[in-house]
Amino acid sequence: MRMRPTLSWTPAADLPPGTTDLEPVVHALSTGGVLVLSGAGLSTESGIPDYRGKGGSLTRHTPMTYQDFTGSAHARRRYWARSHLGWRTFGRAVPNAGHRAVAAYARHARVSGVITQNVDGLHQAAGSEGVVELHGSLDRVVCLSCGVFSPRGELARRLEAENPGFDPVAAGINPDGDADLTDAQVGDFRVVPCAHCGGVLKPDVVFFGEAVPPQRVEHCRRLVRDASSLLVLGSSLTVMSGLRFVRQAHQEGKPVLIVNQDPTQGDPLARTRVALPLGPALTAVAHRLGIPVDGGSAD
């Protein structure tokens, strides 16, 4: 049975309200050493929907679980048909003002690192370096038999060759790059095996029901330990994958600052939650710090 991902949570009645005051974020970045933890909300301005915000994809879509993917050839066919179509749109997404602002903070030594829960590669496309992809990336594919990695573009070309004319109209695209297709639209889509050993190919992402590699978690914990504060961008912190780092920072006495329009599970542990759209808010912070974004003026 597919495990239903957590759709939402109910904020406590005494949860502090969000603010529009950016000063705490400006102050933290002015001293440097800030670790960024980003979620799907940072990429919505690039045309990629989030999971749990208003109109989030989990209201209409249950992401693939690791157990379904590995246990069912039918599930893999359905996944790859939907993901192949979604990749055409997902792969064309470009960084927005929020991604560019984070990269600018790092260039000016205000950010010590970036941990992202996103699988879209937009932080790197904006110029951020050393990004820790907590949940992996859709631009890589791994064989579950031989462990060989290969570029997603290479798989896309092989799938195109095996499925000429496959071009159904999707109802939408999800944060995991999965397009909304019916079983009838999936039809008899042909999945290709690993070119090296003939094994099962899987995107190099952490599915629901799959654990983040322990060494990756420990690397992130070291980044939290070495940071002066934690800045959470566009994450509801509904699942433990990201919330554990907020808890760690709080336990270590480090300020936690959140920029997210909706309440999050990390709010009780945060010094502040700024309830503003991410792109404009992060650009405004850069301007107040005198940091140019995309090489433009900071005035």
Does 49 count as an annotated binding residue? yes
The per-residue DSSP string of 170-199 comes to PS-B-TTS-B---HHHHTTPPP---TTTS-
Does 150 count as an annotated binding residue? no
Provide φ and ψ at 293, rounded to 5°: -105, 130
User: Do β-strands 111-116 and 34-38 pair in parallel, antiparallel, or remain unpaired?
Assistant: parallel
Across the chain, the runs of DSSP E, i.e. the strands, are: 34-38, 111-116, 132-133, 136-143, 149-151, 201-205, 229-233, 256-259, 272-274
Does 128 count as an annotated binding residue? no
Does 129 count as an annotated binding residue? no
Does 176 count as an annotated binding residue? no
Map residue 59 onto helix, strand or coil: helix
Q: What per-residue string of b and e applies to 236-263 under the rule 16 or more CB within 10 Å gives b?
A: bbbbebbbbbbbbbbeeebbbbbbbbbb
Does 145 count as an annotated binding residue? no
Does 158 count as an annotated binding residue? no
Does 56 count as an annotated binding residue? yes
Quick one: DSSP state of residue 167? -
Does 297 count as an annotated binding residue? no
Does 44 count as an annotated binding residue? yes
Map residue 77 onto helix, strand or coil: helix
Does 29 count as an annotated binding residue? no
Catalytic residue among 135, 219, 250, 287: 135
Question: For helices 97-107 and 278-288, what crossing angle results, to 10°?
Answer: 30
Does 241 count as an annotated binding residue? no
Cβ-count burial of 56 within 10 angstroms (0-12 exposed, 13-18 middle, 19+ buried)?
Answer: buried
Q: Is 135 among the catalytic positions?
A: yes
Does 59 count as an annotated binding residue? yes
Does 235 count as an annotated binding residue? yes
Map residue 19 onto helix, strand or coil: strand
Does 89 count as an annotated binding residue? no
Compute the distance between CA of residue 193 and CA of residue 225 in angstroms, rounded to an integer.
42
Q: Give which of 233, 97, 87 is closest to 156, Cα–Cα.
A: 87
Does 199 count as an annotated binding residue? no
- Check if the beta carbon of residue 294 is closer than 8 Å to that of residue 45: no
Does 220 count as an annotated binding residue? no
Residues contributing to the annotated binding site: 39-59, 117-120, 143, 146, 194, 197, 234-236, 278
| Residues taking part in catalysis | 135
Residues contributing to the annotated binding site for Zn(2+): 143, 146, 194, 197
Residues contributing to the annotated binding site for NAD(+): 39-59, 117-120, 234-236, 278
